[in-house]
Structure 1
């Protein structure tokens, strides 16, 4: 498979070999690749050469790396249309995927000046502050920070936030979620995002901030999320007026 007499660089030959394995489904999405050492020993090449091939395939988004665990075959990106207002749980369940959340923080805090303005409440009013890692099929997808007025939505518990907040709000409290505004921008992952999303340093992420309103026009929540750019892409239908 590796021809050291070929004018084609060895790292490029290894790239092509791994690509062929993925195309032929010999390597499936989620499969872990052999280590750099194993590749180097198998083909009698340097680990630096192996690393170059692997990093190129990571850049091409055919592979992804999890710190301390290894390199894995990338599955297709999740496509999300921007027209609807759905929760992370609802999005993943619509794809037939199992979701879970790892709760990092759950407490009631006084709203700062800027947050109070965003939520339409008085400064220092009590607010639920919820920080979660959102997972699909046990893969970290997003680091999510949610802020909800505690006087508007009562009875939220740690158990409830492990599942779907929207279901609790609509089905248990019978509050109607009406609309929202979402802002999306690109960024480079910070130290916290690298740790919790299990991505490489300086990886690209998608920052999303959503403000959601109830039918009575009260602001329900402000959600600030950091999504893995290697797992998500967004689509929108455009109409020329």
Structure 2
């Protein structure tokens, strides 16, 4: 019994990657090119590409096409290591791009998490983080403005942890982490170059000072196909 036509396209692309004809970050043929090559409909070609995306083998960038995925970034969300340290340990290249910064009033949910009154002054910093030139993580970071006056004058392409330590003499002694799968709204999806509604892993990180004050509340949106979580612990 012959296999579905989309599976023939899937197997062909997988084989090209296996033999090295296609390598990491190479651009794949378009849906139209694949449909012509395999005498298939564009719907069938799209089904094949979506299956490869689901398996984490390829990824797409809006208005740019489909590309061969790099190896997933291995990430332990409970580790105190910074993003840049994690990237360096895995011999990858990372960049951080600030998207927007503002002084605003804490929304009710954010205020509750940070132990502030609703409307208290907070800094909101949005950053895009890339690994090997691929956007994989979008951050929405809330910082208590009373703890870090003048924060917005700093360069947020650099480590925020380093800024806290160097300029405000504040370190983090405890971090609470919550994780769950969700989907991206239109604005966040655009920043990560995916379609609205695309799946992602949301990690909410609340970081405390030694005085037990919430210094930073970080909402992280990770591309689901770019990261793998790995946690280790000792048994008592």
Tell me the TM-score normalised to structure 1 length. 0.87
Equivalent pairs counted in the alignment come to 236
Alignment match, 1:170: 165
Q: CA deviation at 1:148?
A: 0.7
1: CA distance, partners of 2:97 / 2:171: 27
**Is 1:88 the equivalent of 2:83?**
yes
**Is 1:189 the equivalent of 2:184?**
yes
1:10 to 5, 18, 27: 5
2: CA distance, partners of 1:226 / 1:210: 11
Relative distance call for 1:222 and 1:238 in structure 2 (3 A) is same
**Is 1:22 the equivalent of 2:42?**
no
2:112 to 117, 133, 138: 117
Alignment match, 2:144: 149
**Is 1:98 the equivalent of 2:93?**
yes
Q: CA deviation at 1:240?
A: 4.6
Q: CA deviation at 1:115?
A: 2.6
Task: Tell whether the 8 Å contact from 2:56 to 2:226 is kept in structure 1 after alignment.
Answer: no
2:30 to 32, 35, 47: 35
CA deviations 1:128-168 (Å, max 9, x no partner) are: 11122222233211221111111212332354212211111
Task: Tell whether the 8 Å contact from 2:161 to 2:171 is kept in structure 1 after alignment.
Answer: no
Relative distance call for 1:83 and 1:133 in structure 2 (3 A) is closer
> Which structure has the larger Rg?
1
CA deviations 1:170-217 (Å, max 9, x no partner) are: 133332221200100011222223211112343221111110011232
Q: CA deviation at 1:221?
A: 0.7
Residue 53 of structure 2 aligns to a residue whose secondary structure is: helix
Residue 177 of structure 1 aligns to a residue whose secondary structure is: coil
RMSD, matched Cα: 2.2
Relative distance call for 1:140 and 1:149 in structure 2 (3 A) is same
Tell me the TM-score normalised to structure 2 length. 0.88
**Is 1:59 the equivalent of 2:54?**
yes
Q: CA deviation at 1:127?
A: 1.1
Task: Tell whether the 8 Å contact from 1:170 to 1:177 is kept in structure 2 after alignment.
Answer: no
Alignment match, 2:41: 46
Task: Tell whether the 8 Å contact from 1:40 to 1:50 is kept in structure 2 after alignment.
Answer: yes
Alignment match, 1:208: 203
2: CA distance, partners of 1:9 / 1:105: 46
